């Protein structure tokens, strides 16, 4: 898996924290939003709207920080995203507030 991100990107940061916390095997590539690298090839072909973060997992490209967090949590069965109905609802509430 490869995460296109930038250290100043708040949407990228939560994913990088989850990856670090759970020791996930993740290649990272920084895309310099300050110089507009996100709006040029090759990144613009990965995410045509030019926003970070973007996750590439095999043949899938996934954007939107919240969707990436939920995908990783489900893929690796991470405890941070509880399967308990009410606990997960409160997590989703906080994630939606952030978005």
Q: Decide if residue 64 touches ligand GSH (CB under 6 A).
A: yes
Contact 41, 95 (CB under 8 A): no
What number of chain residues touch ligand GSH (CB under 6 A)? 13
Q: Decide if residue 51 touches ligand GSH (CB under 6 A).
A: yes
Q: Are strands 2-5 and 54-57 parallel, antiparallel or unpaired?
A: antiparallel
Tokens 């030019």 correspond to 50
Q: Decide if residue 15 touches ligand GSH (CB under 6 A).
A: no
Q: Are strands 54-57 and 27-30 parallel, antiparallel or unpaired?
A: unpaired
Q: Decide if residue 92 touches ligand GSH (CB under 6 A).
A: no
Kindly list the residues in this chain that would bind ligand GSH in the complex (CB under 6 A): 9-11, 33, 38, 50-53, 64-66, 99
């Amino acid at each position: 898996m490869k995460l296109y991100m930038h250290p100043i990107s708040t949407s990228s940061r939560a994913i990088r924290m989850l990856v670090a916390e759970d020791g996930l095997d993740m290649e990272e590539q920084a895309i310099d939003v300050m110089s507009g690298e996100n709006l040029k090839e090759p990144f613009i072909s990965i995410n045509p709207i030019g926003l970070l973060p973007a996750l590439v997992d095999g043949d899938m490209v996934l954007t939107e920080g919240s969707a990436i967090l939920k995908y990783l949590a489900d893929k690796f069965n991470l405890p941070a995203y509880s399967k308990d109905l009410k606990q997960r609802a409160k997590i989703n509430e906080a994630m939606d507030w952030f978005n």
